[in-house]
């Protein structure tokens, strides 16, 4: 459980307190690889280790999806989101979507 951006409570579990359920909220972000990053990442895969180019791309996508979900919750008047889950999917070769969803609540 953590305080997120602009002091909205974010939790992957349910809370042991009374709250009003406002509805499901979600955010998603689709990112595509950049040719230059792809070449560097391909070389890095040959020698092993973390592929920092892709790791940074996925981190940016997660943060954007989270930002969208938090904004949707705030628009509903929520001060917390419970049951948060992340998922990813490949849309096409070289592009992935990060999805985050949870239940907006008012404590």
What is the mean pLDDT for each group of 10 consecutive residues in the chain (107 residues)? 70 91 94 58 57 76 94 97 91 80 96
Pair of tokens at residue 9: 């409570």
| pLDDT of 80 | 96
Give the per-residue pLDDT at 23. 96
pLDDT of residue 100: 96
pLDDT at 30: 84
Count of CB atoms situated within 10 Å of the CB of 105? 25
The pLDDT, as a whole number, for residue 107 is: 93
pTM: 0.76
What contacts 20, CB < 8 A, 6 or more positions away?
105, 106
- Which residues are registered as beta bridge partners of 105? 21, 80
pLDDT reported for residue 72: 97
Neighbouring-strand partners of residue 100: 27, 86
Decide if domain 2-106 falls under CATH 3.30.110.70.
Answer: yes
**CA-wise closest residue to 24 among 96, 102, 106:** 102
Query: How many whole angstroms separate alpha carbon 99 and alpha carbon 58?
Result: 11
Q: What is the pLDDT of residue 74?
A: 97
């Amino acid at each position: 459980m953590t305080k997120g951006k602009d002091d909205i409570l974010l939790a992957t579990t349910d809370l042991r307190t009374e709250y009003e359920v406002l509805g499901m909220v979600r955010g998603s972000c689709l990112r595509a690889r950049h040719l230059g990053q792809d070449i560097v990442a391909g070389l890095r895969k040959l020698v092993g280790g973390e592929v920092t180019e892709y790791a940074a791309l996925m981190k940016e996508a997660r943060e954007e999806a989270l930002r969208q979900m938090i904004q949707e919750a705030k628009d509903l008047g929520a001060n917390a989101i419970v049951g948060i889950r992340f998922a990813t999917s490949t849309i096409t070769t070289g592009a992935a979507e990060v999805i985050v969803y949870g239940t907006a609540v008012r404590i």
